[in-house]
Amino acid sequence: MKMKRAVLLGIVCLVLGAGSLAGMDWGFSAGANILTLRQKDVQDMYGAGFPVGVRAWSGWKNWRISVGLEYLSERGQALPLSGGSEEFPLRLRVTSIPIVLYYQIGIKDVFLAAGGGASFAWYEETWEDLDIVVKGQKWGPILSFLAGYHLSQRLSVFGETRYEPIPTGKSSLLVPEVKLGGLKIGAGVMFYF
């Protein structure tokens, strides 16, 4: 049910914006990130992550809104709390729908944007040798900074720094509230209509 609400919210934002404002820009982007500066215990188990994603863009004047779909799949190791040598293989999958509103400025072919929004994420952690699965879904905040260069009227490249903590609302023996996200640094390509 929450997935349907998140998708519906994203579609409504894009459609209402397009129907009510003249001179809309439309586009799509694809990119990849490196996920760093995570919560220490998550970082120790999984290291850096490499999410990939696509986004639909719309906007008017200096305002842009993006709605995306992002996926992260990674393997890790959990160590026993007693300090033994036994390792437990883990697999983490996170799918999220980020919705971000940006304010953008441009200087010739260069553009800079800052924005904030929210992301709805589904996560599943599997302890492969123990048949333990922890999963859930949760809303979380996003703060994003983007810089890009227009290669042509219909094509741009961009770099992005985004903070997305992906809170789970769950705790573990070591951490009072587990956050699967962190700082994302990435790049991508935008196509405009």
Q: How far apart are CA 72 and CA 79, in angstroms?
A: 22
**What is the reported pLDDT for 45?**
84
Residue in this structure with the two tokens 């719309």, named with its chain if needed: 58
DSSP readout, 164-181? Answer: E--B-S---SS-SS-B--
Helices (H), the chain: 2-20, 40-46
CB 121 within 8 A of CB 166: yes
CB 138 within 8 A of CB 100: no
Number of domains in the chain: 1
Per-residue model confidence as pLDDT tens for the chain (193 residues):
665 665 555 565 555 554 444 456 899 999 999 998 788 888 888 888 899 999 999 998 899 999 999 999 999 888 776 666 778 898 999 999 999 999 999 999 999 999 999 999 999 988 888 888 888 999 999 999 999 999 998 999 999 999 999 888 777 766 677 888 889 999 999 998 8
Range of the domain at 130: 2-192
CB 189 within 8 A of CB 55: no
Cα-Cα end-to-end distance for the chain: 32
Q: How far apart are CA 36 and CA 47, in angstroms?
A: 8
Strand partners, 113: 104, 146
Residues 32-54 pLDDT 10s: 999 987 888 888 888 888 999 99
**What is the reported pLDDT for 189?**
97
Strand partners, 183: 36, 163
Residues 6+ apart with CB under 8 A from 87: 77, 78, 79
139: closest CA among 112, 165, 110?
A: 165
- The domain that contains 139 carries what CATH number? 2.40.160.20
Considering the entire predicted model, what is its pTM? 0.81
